[in-house]
Amino acid sequence: MSVFMDLNLSYTEDKSSLQRLIETAAQLGYSTVAINYTFELTKKKKEVPKPAQIKELFEQLPIVQGRSRPIRVLNRLTVVMSESSHFRSTAPEYRHFDILALQPTSEKLFHAACMTYDVDIICVIVTEKLPFHFKRGSVNGAIDRGVMFEISYAAAIRDSTMRRYTIANAVNLVERSKGKGMIISSAAERALELRGPYDITNLALLFGLTDQTAKEAVSSTCHSVVRHAETRRTGSGIVCTTKVCTETSDQQGAPVDADTCEAPAAKKHKTAASEGVTAEEGGAKATSAL
Amino acid sequence: MKGVSTQKKSTGYQRVVLKNSAPVLENESTRLSAVEFKQFIITGLKILYGEVGAALTFDVLKYDEDSRTAFLRVPSRGLVKLWSSLTLLGSYQDQACAFRILQVSPFLLALTGNSRELQLD
Amino acid sequence: MSVDVCEAPHCQLVCENSSFLDEENSLVSLVQQLHFNYKVSLLIPDCSSAPSHLDSVINSFSSFVLIKNMPVSEFIDKDFLETAVYPGSVCALSYRTRIGEDNCVALMPNGRLRLSLDRHSYHLLGIEGKVSKFRSKGRHIVSVDLTDSSMAPGGRGYDRLLSGLTCRLPLTSDFLLSHQQGVQSCLKSLLSRYDWSELRPEVSTKVLHQLTCPSDLGSCDAYSVMDWLGAVDAGISSSIGSSSSFLSTYTCPGPQRMATTALSISVSGFLLPHHVQILIMEVRQFLEQSSSPWASLTVHGFTDNVVSCCENEHGRLRGGVNFYTLLMSKGHDYKLLIVTGSHDSCSP
């Protein structure tokens, strides 16, 4: 088990409420959070949002509860996809984000997302009845590629109908995936919608997860997602070696600057969760194909 | 030398205690008495688990009205139910609220000796 | 001597009735085994103030040091090995690290250095270890005996560990450090290099009035005893309801009696087993002279302790000890309640 993460805190324009959200997450013991920007092409806004600079939000990031290190904040983009043209895998706008997620709204798109699109997370809709059934093939395809599924719980706190959908859709997914490759995040808009990591591991039992997979859903599986994202951004299948000068504790899994180690895509590698993709060992900057 | 006798415990029934910082309410000035507090939790159980949930017996061992912190005791088979209903309780009388579970242990005695509470600076 | 172990969902409660006169009693080894004690609490009924000799023992728990941002490699520094590790008098535990989430480090007085590492760090360190049995996959325990001949400075194993901890995995953490002869005098050179502060264990003394106690604590079952002691510690006793109350059905176990006063003392900090041992002796002596029928002593270990998540040497108690309660009665009998295994703990 690694540190706890919540990879979905909804972005709000209101700076102070966003700050409070991140502070609360740190107090609850999350070591890493991601601010989520949702992008839907059908809406009036046609431009992919630009992530806010974390530095502008905090001069000093809040300290994780019971620890001496500050919380780590990532940016994430969720593309809501109702047509296959909505997601352009090479779009330069996507580069500003650490994590890329996709929310497919039809079975066909879900299958495509699982099998081909180069993303890190596939969101499972929790605000309405699932418009399609999960196919074991699609689900396994995604897990094999290291793409994880996400269930978010804030809607279940807000509304009792949504609660029913959340539980039903999550149970549906767990039946297909046996609880593997699943992360649980908040999608919270306000600090009071956040729950602690242990609360979530307990809640996940209702979704049919075991004690083990429930813990992984807020820790090591999230870690795999972050790793997968780092690999995707550094060009698939490229080993990136960067020089580490300060403490490792902060550096572990720190996002590698995409611009500095850009390299032509080589082999597509299967599970990005594999170890040593970003080796943080000494030596000068060097890139080499796997 | 004296003989040594050992005692064997049955494992069938076990209690679990939760140390529970009770609702963080949106409006800090709202006061909640111990009875209202327990009633609120029962309501939460009933929403999520129906009448069977509402019938779950648990104890409010201690409740502090100012900090809204409580010690709850529940049979271990009821823990998941009680805990998940606390997790999903999101509003009290139309204002947003959240339960923060501080510690869970099978032994009440363990709750007073949590080394993670050690604050040294 | 036989000890029975019962298995509960997440932890075990071992209950043992024995006597201090029994030469094979396991108390001494148990106390020594729990190196990292966080809190000791003492409850004595029918007593309103501690006699001076007991008081002085309580206040004699040695102070400890919090060092900030110290590299783990300092533990295998030649100087440190000679002044602290080989004499076997130093205890250190990483502070503000959570087992299961972070990399945790512990140095025991017997010269063993234990690291609990996540998979990534484990591979970087490159020292052989075991997969942790009690935590989820990917976590490894590396245990190194610093007193072993191969770990002497200059030896192969030593060089490997040194390069691992300085180049490949330069792990740093805040540490709690305790030394039997006083940290300040013995570890001057180490302290001079880092930001540190000396801390005293915190002692709190409470006199409880009109406490409802079980009239025969020894005959109650172990779970109720634990619960009752916990209730007293948490200050629940005063609000104990009747079995028909709406709020709580918790009642004092067994036939009851009223103790006019009871003394509750707790010491918390980074406490050495050596002092716990002295305290037990002192309480025994006190019991002989006073009118109190019994005394209970509870010792809590650190939750995020690497050692307790490993197979301990005796192999008897799986998962190591989390806390134990010692019930001493007049005479030489005692009852020992040991809670082992990973109790589900959840913190804010």
What pLDDT score does B93 carry?
Answer: 84
On chain C, the residues whose CB falls within 8 A of the CB of A282 are: 167
Q: Best of B107, B111, B121 to disrupt the C interface by mutation (most C CBs within 10 Å)? A: B107
pLDDT range class, residue B95, cuts 50, 70, 90? confident
The two three-digit tokens of residue A128, written as one number: 């309405």
Write out the DSSP string of A86-146.
G--TT-GGGGG-SEEEEEE-SHHHHHHHHHT---SEEEPP-SS--SSPPPHHHHHHHHHHT
User: Which phi and psi (to 5°) does residue A102 adopt?
Assistant: -130, 140
A150, A99 Cβ separation under 8 angstroms: no
* Chain C from 135 to 174: CB within 8 A of any B CB: none
- Looking at residue C215, its amino acid is S
Q: Considering chain C, what percentage of its residues have pLDDT values greater than 70?
A: 86
pLDDT range class, residue C226, cuts 50, 70, 90? confident
- Looking at residue C292, its amino acid is S
Lowest mean pLDDT among B64-68, C225-229, C320-324: C320-324
pLDDT means over runs of 10, chain A (290 residues): 89 91 93 92 73 85 89 93 80 86 92 92 91 90 93 93 94 90 94 92 93 89 92 67 49 40 38 39 35
Per-residue buried b or exposed e for C206-241, using 16+ beta carbons within 10 Å of the residue's own CB: eebeebbbbeebeebebbebbbbbbbbbbbbbebbe
On chain B, the residues whose CB falls within 8 A of the CB of A195 are: 87, 98
pLDDT tops 80 at residue B42: yes
Q: Considering chain B, what percentage of its residues have pLDDT values greater than 70?
A: 75
Count of CB atoms within 10 A of residue C36's CB? 24
User: Which phi and psi (to 5°) does residue A58 adopt?
Assistant: -130, 140
Chain A CB within 8 Å of residue C315 CB: no
C40, C267 Cβ separation under 8 angstroms: yes
Cα angle C190, C194, C199; round to 5: 85
Domains and CATH numbers, chain A: 5-234 (3.20.20.140)
C323, C30 Cβ separation under 8 angstroms: no
On chain B, the residues whose CB falls within 8 A of the CB of C201 are: none
pLDDT tops 70 at residue C345: no
Write out the DSSP string of A19-63.
HHHHHHHHHTT-SEEEEEEEEETTSS--SPP-PPPHHHH-SSPPB
What pLDDT score does C257 carry?
Answer: 85
Cα–Cα distance for residue pair C333/C117, rounded to 1 Å: 42
pLDDT range class, residue C201, cuts 50, 70, 90? very high
Contact assignment for A29 to C347 by CB distance below 8 Å: yes
Contact assignment for B6 to C302 by CB distance below 8 Å: no
Cα–Cα distance for residue pair C2/B121, rounded to 1 Å: 45
What pLDDT score does A286 carry?
Answer: 36
On chain C, the residues whose CB falls within 8 A of the CB of A276 are: 123
ipTM of model: 0.84
pLDDT tops 90 at residue C17: no
Lowest mean pLDDT among A242-256, C256-270, C274-288: A242-256
A240, A269 Cβ separation under 8 angstroms: no
What pLDDT score does A35 carry?
Answer: 95
What pLDDT score does C172 carry?
Answer: 92
The neighbours of chain B, by the rule of 3 or more Cβ pairs under 8 Å, are A, C
Q: Which of B80, B90, B98 shows the shortest C-beta gap to A202? A: B80
pLDDT in tens, C63-119: 899 999 999 999 998 888 888 888 888 889 999 888 778 889 999 888 889 998 888
What pLDDT score does C181 carry?
Answer: 79
Min distance C247 CA to chain B CA atoms (Å): 5
Min distance B113 CA to chain C CA atoms (Å): 6
pLDDT tops 90 at residue B32: no
The residue that leads in pLDDT, C329 or C22, is: C329
Which helix (H) or strand (E) element contains residue C172?
strand C172-179
Contact assignment for B38 to C246 by CB distance below 8 Å: yes
| Cα four-point dihedral sign A200, A206, A212, A214 | negative
Q: Which of A65, A252, A276 shows the shortest C-beta gap to C348? A: A65
Contact assignment for A198 to B104 by CB distance below 8 Å: yes
What pLDDT score does B27 carry?
Answer: 55
Cα–Cα distance for residue pair A173/C316, rounded to 1 Å: 42
Nearest CA in chain C to A4: C101
**Chains B, C: CB contacts under 8 A, how many?**
165
What pLDDT score does A270 carry?
Answer: 38
Count of CB atoms within 10 A of residue A84's CB? 13
Per-residue buried b or exposed e for A113-148, using 16+ beta carbons within 10 Å of the residue's own CB: bbeebbbbbbbbbbeeebeeebeeebbbbbbebbbb
Q: Best of A161, A198, A202, A211 to disrupt the B interface by mutation (most B CBs within 10 Å)? A: A202
Domains and CATH numbers, chain B: 24-105 (3.30.70.3250)
- Could you tell me which residues come within 8 angstroms of residue A26 by beta carbon, excluding any fewer than 6 positions away? A61, A62, A63, A64, A65, A70, A71
Contact assignment for A1 to C173 by CB distance below 8 Å: no
On chain C, the residues whose CB falls within 8 A of the CB of B1 are: 19, 21-23
Q: Best of A163, A195, A201, A218 to disrupt the B interface by mutation (most B CBs within 10 Å)? A: A195
What pLDDT score does C263 carry?
Answer: 93
Lowest mean pLDDT among A127-136, B54-63, C175-184, C313-322: C313-322
Nearest CA in chain B to A27: B100
Write out the DSSP string of C197-238.
EEEPPEEEEEEEEEEEEES-GGGS-HHHHHHHHHHHHTT-GG
Q: Best of A153, A166, A167, A206 to disrupt the B interface by mutation (most B CBs within 10 Å)? A: A206
What pLDDT score does C332 carry?
Answer: 85
Contact assignment for A253 to C120 by CB distance below 8 Å: yes
Chain B residues with at least one Cβ partner in A under 8 Å = 24, 26, 47-48, 79-80, 83-84, 86-90, 96-98, 100-101, 104, 116
Contact assignment for B96 to A194 by CB distance below 8 Å: no
Contact assignment for A248 to C118 by CB distance below 8 Å: no
* Chain A from 32 to 91: CB within 8 A of any C CB: 65-68
